[in-house]
Amino acid sequence: MKKVGFVGWRGMVGSVLLDRMKEENNFSNINAFFFTTSQVGMKAPETINGEKILLDAHSIKELSEMDIILSCQGGDYTEKVYAELKKYNWDGHWIDAASTLRMADESIIVLDPINEPSINTALKNGFRTWVGGNCTVSLMLLAIHGLIKEGAIEWVSSMTYQAASGAGAKNMKELLVQMGQLHSSTESELKKINFNILDVDKMVLNKMRSSDFSKENFQVPLAGNLIPWIDQDLGKGLSREEWKGQFETNKILMNNYEKINVDGLCTRIGSMRSHSQALTIKLKKHYELTEINDLIKSANNWVKLVPNEKEASINNLTPAAVSGGLDIAIGRVRRLALDDNIISAFTVGDQLLWGAAEPLRRMLQILIK
């Protein structure tokens, strides 16, 4: 059995990963070792064939005994430890949730329903570094997989509505704290039978703008607000999240599909763990709407086409409907009045599952097999 070392398994993505692995009985055919940066020697989580004691995530010697290391520990850890392991001539497989190594020549961005042929070729060619993609990129590609396979797309503009989870666990908590603070600040007025909504609105604004409003993590209010910028400012008006949309997409598609131009604006909104995206898609030629729908819904096992109708959309095409599952919902598909070959679509997917943990879990299974 392969020795698989897990680092960062206690964090949000790591926990989702472990839960999925338990659900799929994935611990039955590996020898699992759990590493820690702070609790060496303490009890490891219980798994079939799992080592009972936590090992040191900074011990290159202990790490180098693994056939496979799966890290959800974050970019700083990857930067330090991956380089040290390479210097140590470790030749195991490194699977990573962090973005650090995504664009490196030695790594493949893994999203096997889309790029399994690239993964297999890389395996044959001795690649050993497998990195999960940016969540919006992975979720978008799974949603429009059918149009990509068909080679139907000239360009895509993706306008995102990204959940708090993409920023981390502390941010999810902060969103809820902010919601609570806004509610508390208006409670007395809301209790009145003849409450004045304009007074309530003023109270909300005052609270949001006050110095005691919790915004340590987001820096600004997210509850009752939105944030039209995600990740670093790369200059020329471009955010790093938007850059990822352009470049990671085509690294994943490389060698198997035609290049597509992708660009758009990335925005944080107050949903918990599902990212949504409004897509404007320029098709290369005229397709009937029925053909477009057929291509989309038959592309993979997870994409679920929601009819472009009000009831279906408000019930099934939302973070509340999709979160916690592997379905990638896509709907609001219609021809836009702008151009005969331009269509709209709206897609929602769980940022922690297909957006983070699931491609890593599946890559591990590919390596085990």
Pick the binder of ligand HSE from 71, 107, 129, 134 (CB under 6 A): 134
Compute the CA torsion angle 308, 309, 315, 319 (nearest 10 deg).
30
Contact pattern for ligand HSE over residues 190 through 229, marking x by CB under 6 A: ----------------------------------------
Backbone φ, ψ for residue 142 (5° rounding): -65, -35
Closest contact distance (angstroms) between CB of 230 and ligand HSE is: 5
Stretch that binds ligand HSE, among 28-36, 79-87, 161-169, 305-313 (CB under 6 A): 161-169
The answer to whether residues 1 and 51 touch, using CB atoms and an 8 Å cutoff, is no
**Taking CA 120 as the corner, what is the angle to CA 70 and CA 97, rounded to the nearest 5 degrees?**
25
Active site members: 135, 275
In the chain, DSSP assigns E strands to 2-7, 30-36, 55-56, 68-71, 93-96, 107-110, 129-132, 153-161, 261-263, 274-283, 303-305, 328-335, 342-350
- SS3 call for 175: helix
Rounded to whole angstroms, the Cα distance separating 304 from 29 reads: 31
Stretch that binds ligand HSE, among 149-157, 160-168, 178-186, 322-330 (CB under 6 A): 160-168
Closest contact distance (angstroms) between CB of 296 and ligand HSE is: 23
The answer to whether residues 232 and 123 touch, using CB atoms and an 8 Å cutoff, is no
Closest contact distance (angstroms) between CB of 125 and ligand HSE is: 27
Asked if residue 162 binds ligand HSE (CB under 6 A), the reply is yes
**CB atoms closer than 10 angstroms to residue 41:** 9
Asked if residue 323 binds ligand HSE (CB under 6 A), the reply is no
Asked if residue 119 binds ligand HSE (CB under 6 A), the reply is no
40 versus 227: smaller Cβ distance to ligand HSE: 227
Asked if residue 242 binds ligand HSE (CB under 6 A), the reply is no
Query: Could you give the C-alpha distances from 77 to 57, 58, 83, 252, 310, in angstroms and in order?
Result: 9, 9, 10, 24, 46
98 versus 147: smaller Cβ distance to ligand HSE: 98
96 versus 241: smaller Cβ distance to ligand HSE: 241
17 versus 296: smaller Cβ distance to ligand HSE: 17
Asked if residue 135 binds ligand HSE (CB under 6 A), the reply is yes
Asked if residue 26 binds ligand HSE (CB under 6 A), the reply is no
Which residue in the shown chain puts its C-beta closest to ligand HSE? Answer: 166
Pick the binder of ligand HSE from 81, 143, 175, 230 (CB under 6 A): 230
Rounded to whole angstroms, the Cα distance separating 193 from 161 reads: 35
Contact pattern for ligand HSE over residues 253 through 282, marking x by CB under 6 A: ------------------------------
Looking at residue 311, its amino acid is E
Q: Which residues bind ligand HSE (CB under 6 A)?
A: 134-135, 162, 166-167, 230-231, 241
